[in-house]
Amino acid sequence: MSHRGDERAVTVQIGAVLLLAILFAALALYQVNVVPAQNGAIESEHNQQVHGELQDLRNAIRNVGTSGGSESVSVTLGTRYPPRTFLTNPTDPTGTLRTSETGAVGIDNAEFDGRYTTTADELLGEDFETRTLSYEPSYNEYRDAPTTRLEHGFAFNEFSDASVALTDQPLIDGNRLTIVLVEGNLSTSSRGATAVDTRILSGPTDPIALEDDGDNITITVPTASPNAWNESIGTEFGPASGAEHARVTGYADGQLRVELEGDTEYELRMARVGVGDASVPPDDPFDIREEPSLPTDSPEYRVDWQDPSGQPGVDDDNCSSDACVVTGDAELTMETNDVAARTGVDYAVNDTSAGTLTRFAGTTADDGTDTTTFEIDPDANDGQPVAVYTSSGGDSDRIDLTISREGGPTADQVLQPVETRDTGDRLVFRLENTGSEQVTVEQFAVDATAIDGGITYGNGNADEVTIFRTSVQDGTAGRNNDPFPADGTRYDIEADSQGNQGQYATLGVDDDDVEVDIRYFNQDLGALETVDSAADADLTVTLVLSDGTEQQFYFQQQ
């Protein structure tokens, strides 16, 4: 009797079973090997993303602490894995952002060099409480991910055996000391995003000139990672150190001790910023302003303001050394008669609601002059008066400024902004020619010092500035691996470019879709939008036409 048909059926069944076994084995191998690798890549990518967001949080605390106001930053604490058919994922990873316990900040062996609305004993006679922030991820695969710390404006990653800086430390920058204290309890864990609000609670102070009292000034701050500060500041004085005039001298009980080099005048600014549940204190210990020095009966030499006409931010052809109208940040230069070189100079304003100064103390150059910059307060009123004083050698002078809020693009400006196209590490914006004739752009300037004094923009061998979509002639400027500083310096598009990279831009009468492309900044500037007033601007672009008229475009960080 024949059973060949039954044998074929059994063979098919065995084949199906083997096929299923192979399929399940493949799925098992995929689950064990591929899924963890993919999830690890997702976690690593998220870790890079959150590092950038924590740098934004650090910048927000720093900006609020030096300029006032408030900022909100979104931090993505965790991430999510993609859904998988027939396969499984572990629980989505989370992260925790928290403040530390309070620690003490102290300044010792220091005294004021100048007159202020408080004394050194009142300000520096006791320690100040502050907190630091840390972010810890809880990943399933990326198990050696670092803890990211924000300490006194310094952002860094702390691994088990090393630390890696994400930003420079701003605590000690040359002879400038910036101490932004953090107050408030914050502890949040999530796999999604959380908003962190930062707001000014006290200050910022006017810059305070400090000198040592005979012993070197020391600053004590709390830290969870002394090695990171050792690497950032250094342990020896000198230019090879991270901070030339400072060195780390000790660490004990969670406190880092930094010594400042003697025989050097330092400029201190302090503020307190709130996060989490922080509340505004009943008093403002950092409401400290400089008072003008009192002249003596017999001055050693005369001190006078120079006529500020022609300076950026000055919109008055009839300025004198006694009075002027200002529409934006204005450079003010004092002079000594007879010439007094290398001598100390003090500056002051009588109404800080109108504006402040970038420097409240300085030293004259060999020609007996020194310069400070008056910065209009964003909330200053049109027509508001303010007096700026300078004093040195027992003599003083005063210039009366009047605030003009018409400092933005007006009907007299033929090139008008239309929209911002792209921001971040570059700035692309569109403008139109509203005049009755074609114009040629010959010079340009970018001023981002309100954001950071060290911002530059460079594009390697390619053009840094491009003015295109014109109907007559597009313009380009480039310096071939030599970045432009974004400090307000004017550059001639052709003369200051290298090789054949420079070409003036000529816009036709009806050009209404011209784009200006500036690339790439050495730090992410975030979202920028056009504003109408220089007083509200964080970044200013100036285009100078062939007839010498300025076309200014103002941008504010969002």
For residue 216, what is the DSSP state? -
Q: Is the pLDDT of residue 427 over 60?
A: yes
Edge-to-edge order in the sheet of strand 395-403 = 323-326, 395-403, 385-392, 344-349, 361-363
What local confidence, expressed as pLDDT, does residue 184 receive? 96
Q: Is the pLDDT of residue 6 over 70?
A: no
Tokens of 535: 């007083």
Domains of the chain: 46-274 (no CATH), 293-403 (2.60.40.10), 415-557 (no CATH)
Please tell me the predicted confidence (pLDDT) of residue 252.
Answer: 96
Under the banding of pLDDT at 50, 70 and 90, the label for residue 331 is confident
pLDDT-above-70 percentage for the chain: 93
* pLDDT tens digits, one per residue of 510-544: 898 899 999 999 999 999 998 887 778 899 999 99
For residues 218 and 500, which has the higher predicted lDDT (pLDDT)?
Answer: 218
Residue 410 pLDDT: 45
Question: Residue 145 pLDDT > 50, yes or no?
Answer: yes
pLDDT at 521: 94
What is the Cα Rg of the chain in Å?
A: 30
Tell me the pLDDT band of 505, cut-offs 50, 70 and 90: very high
Give the mean model confidence (pLDDT) for residues 471-484.
Answer: 89
For the stretch 152-174, pLDDT in tens is 999 999 999 999 999 999 999 99
Composition of the chain by helix, strand, coil, percent to 5: 15, 40, 45
Of all helices (H) and strands (E), which one includes residue 518? strand 514-519
Q: Locate 538 and state its tokens.
A: 């964080």
Q: Which residues contact 267 (CB under 8 A, 6 or more apart)?
A: 175, 176, 177, 207, 208, 209, 210, 359, 360, 361
- Mean pLDDT rounded to a whole number for the chain: 87
Quick one: pLDDT at residue 313? Answer: 57
Which of these, 180, 174, 176, 262, lies nearest to 218 by C-alpha position? 262
Which 3 state secondary structure label does DSSP give 201? strand
- How many residues appear in the chain? 558
Q: Is 11 helix (H, G, I), strand (E, B) or coil?
A: helix
In this prediction, residue 328 carries a pLDDT of 74
Quote the CA–CA distance of 543 and 13 in Å, as a whole number. 81
Q: What is the model's pLDDT at position 495?
A: 87
pLDDT band at 7 (very low <50, low <70, confident <90, very high): low
**Residues 360, 290: contact at Cβ < 8 Å?**
yes
For residue 10, what pLDDT is reported?
Answer: 65
Residue in 89, 90, 226 with CA at minimum distance from that of residue 149: 226
Dump strand ranges (E) for 393-473.
Answer: 395-403, 415-422, 426-433, 439-447, 456-457, 465-468
Which residues, in sequence order, are CB contacts of 475 under 8 Å at separation 6+?
Answer: 441, 465, 466, 467, 468, 493, 503, 504, 505, 506
Instruction: Inform me whether the pLDDT recorded for 445 exceeds 80.
Output: yes
Q: What is the pLDDT of residue 379?
A: 72
What pLDDT score does 85 carry? 83
Give the closest residue to 360 by CA, choosing from 120, 113, 68: 113
Cα separations (Å) of 29 from 23, 82, 91, 111, 142? 10, 18, 20, 70, 20
Instruction: Please give the pLDDT value at position 408.
Output: 45
Task: Give me 309's structure tokens.
Answer: 């006409």
Average pLDDT of span 391-396:
84
Q: What is the pLDDT of residue 407?
A: 46
Does residue 289 carry a pLDDT above 60?
yes
Q: Is 94 helix (H, G, I), strand (E, B) or coil?
A: strand
User: Where does the pLDDT of residue 500 fall: very low under 50, low under 70, confident under 90, or very high at 90 and above?
Assistant: low
The tens digit of pLDDT for each residue in 229-282 reads 999 999 999 888 888 899 999 999 999 999 999 989 999 999 999 998 888 777
CB 468 within 8 Å of CB 474: yes
